[in-house]
A and B are shown apart, each in its own frame.
Chain A
Amino acid sequence: MYSKKVLEHFMNPRNVGEIPDADGVGIEGNPVCGDVMKIYIKVKDDKIVDAKFQTFGCGAAIAVSSMITEIVKGKTLDEAMKISKDVVAEALGGLPSKKRQ
């Protein structure tokens, strides 16, 4: 069901953890209907210099969290805001259609 890349990110997720003095913390999702993601970012000169995540969820959720924290590093806040779910899905080599949410 999952691509090699998704399984890679699931088995060896990047950037797992917390940033105690983070500049931004976001939490999204609901354990009742599925996954919960918490993302921490550190910003310097308008660029994201570090990102970490903690996710409760299935294979796709963990892989997506891992990939997104990789993608945003080095990007400006504006650029990061523009990253769509398709970009993440593509970077992961595609996600099964029912997992795209």
Chain B
Amino acid sequence: MMIYLDHMATTPLDPRVFDAMLPYLKEEFGNPQSVYDLGIKAREAIEKAREQVAYLINCKPSEVVFTSSGSESNNFALKGIALAKRREGKHIIVSRVDHHSVLNSARFLERLGFTVTYLPVNKYGEVDPATVEKHITKETILISIIHASSEVGTIQPIEEIAKIAKEHNVLLHTDAVASAGNIPVDVDKLGVDLLSLSAHQFYGPKGVGALFIREGVEIVPLIHGGIQEDGRRAGTENVPAIVGMGVAAELTKKELTERMAHVKRLRDKLVAELTSRIENIYYTGHPEKRLPGHASFCVEYVEGEAMLLLLATKGIYAASGSACTSKALKASPTLLSMGIPAHIAQGSIVFSFGKDNTMEDVKYIYSMNFRKS
């Protein structure tokens, strides 16, 4: 028996997505660049997926570039813009709570001679738009702020940051890997120039993502080679995965409102029960401006990995930001930058709900009793 509550790590493939992908793993194996029928059908399939993804985020299909993952999209955005604009300026702004693929791309660019400002966050993990403005200089060419944190669920004020970026004529990128599929993501409402997506976060397959690049924005490719993706990202397209991403995007657009209401109900119930039944438990992240299915806590005096192991023995799969659960054996930088003391960050535990979870799952968790009689 499994109760899967780690939808921030990945989500199960929707059976409707699987069905759509199957032909492209079997008889429709053509290369989309080929001139004959088999290739043309593959080409049409990926262009349809492109429209479906564009519809999800409200952009033009020509503004969508398929990649292998959210991490690749983030690398592409940071490095591609930095290189494209290197003669105009060398300063980049990111937040301390951004994903490793943004932070490490930024650190790499520092080694190439760029300067990077890593913006602090408040106790909820929020970036203050005023702080962004304070750090913009004539040299600033890119701001990259994550849309929502997978660790503490907090949603950043991207719209306000976008207004500031526009006033100062600086490009704005946002990593929407954790937000797309969980809350509405509209590139015009947000006001961003670039946006990263990952299919396996919204019931699509792993191995495919996308980068939205607003028309008119020049970017240097990360992967040079042939002419795929309009010369912006070489490599024979992962047709089945791209088809999968398209269908997942279409289903997400259609079902989002329902899904949001469903996970919010479950999440709110879990939070109410756990905070009333457990002593020394803290709900981390912003109490309201957060992903609807996201419940992150720190439990004092108990370590995160130990909690995950115990939960796993009962079939409950969750996540943690403790040092022991990280490959670097360091507590989550996000929790620490929120001012959470390291010894409390050690007790981090994160539950993220998905469309297939039920109230039974929630009841099971809060009724669990590990005490031995």
Give me the interface of A with B, judged by CB distance under 8 Å: 2, 7, 10-11, 31-35, 56-62, 98, 101
Kindly report which residue of chain A lies nearest to residue B326, judged by CB atoms: A98
> Residues of A contacting B303 with CB < 8 Å?
35, 56-58, 61
Are B343 and A98 closer than 8 Å at their CB atoms? no
Question: Of B301, B313, B329, which contacts A11 at CB under 8 A?
Answer: B313
How many Å lie between the Cα of A34 and that of B331 in the bound state?
A: 8
Question: Of A11, A56, A98, which contacts B327 at CB under 8 A?
Answer: A98
Are B329 and A62 closer than 8 Å at their CB atoms? no
> Residues of A contacting B343 with CB < 8 Å?
31-32
Kindly report which residue of chain B lies nearest to residue A34, judged by CB atoms: B323
How many Å lie between the Cα of A11 and that of B313 in the bound state?
A: 9
The count of chain B contact residues (Cβ–Cβ below 8 Å) is 20
Kindly report which residue of chain B lies nearest to residue A60, judged by CB atoms: B324
> Residues of B contacting A57 with CB < 8 Å?
303, 306, 324
> Residues of A contacting B323 with CB < 8 Å?
33-34
**Which residues of chain B from 257 to 283 have any CB-CB distance to chain A below 8 Å in the complex?**
none
Tally of contacts, chain A with chain B, CB under 8 A: 49
Are A31 and B342 closer than 8 Å at their CB atoms? yes
> Residues of B contacting A11 with CB < 8 Å?
310, 313
CB distance from B301 to the nearest CB of A (A): 7
Are B324 and A32 closer than 8 Å at their CB atoms? no
Given contacts A31-B342, A32-B342, contact A58 B327 (CB under 8 A): no
**Which residues of chain B from 318 to 333 have any CB-CB distance to chain A below 8 Å in the complex?**
322-325, 327, 329-331
Are B324 and A56 closer than 8 Å at their CB atoms? no
Are B313 and A62 closer than 8 Å at their CB atoms? no
How many Å lie between the Cα of A34 and that of B322 in the bound state?
A: 9
> Residues of A contacting B327 with CB < 8 Å?
98
Q: Does B237 contact A (CB under 8 A)?
A: no
How many Å lie between the Cα of A64 and that of B30 in the bound state?
A: 55
Q: Does B9 contact A (CB under 8 A)?
A: no
How many Å lie between the Cα of A61 and that of B305 in the bound state?
A: 10
- Given contact pairs A31-B342, A58-B304, enumerate 8 new A-B contacts (beta carbons under 8 Å): A32-B342, A32-B343, A35-B303, A56-B346, A58-B305, A58-B306, A58-B322, A58-B325
Are B324 and A58 closer than 8 Å at their CB atoms? yes
Kindly report which residue of chain A lies nearest to residue B323, judged by CB atoms: A34
How many Å lie between the Cα of A57 and that of B323 in the bound state?
A: 10
Given contacts A11-B313, A56-B301, A98-B329, contact A34 B306 (CB under 8 A): no
Which of B301, B309, B323 is the most central at the interface, judged by chain A CB atoms within 10 Å of its CB? B309
* 24 A-B pairs in the complex with CB atoms less than 8 angstroms apart: A10-B309, A11-B310, A31-B342, A31-B346, A32-B342, A32-B343, A33-B329, A33-B330, A33-B342, A34-B346, A35-B303, A56-B303, A56-B346, A57-B306, A58-B303, A58-B305, A58-B309, A58-B322, A58-B325, A59-B305, A59-B324, A61-B303, A98-B327, A101-B329
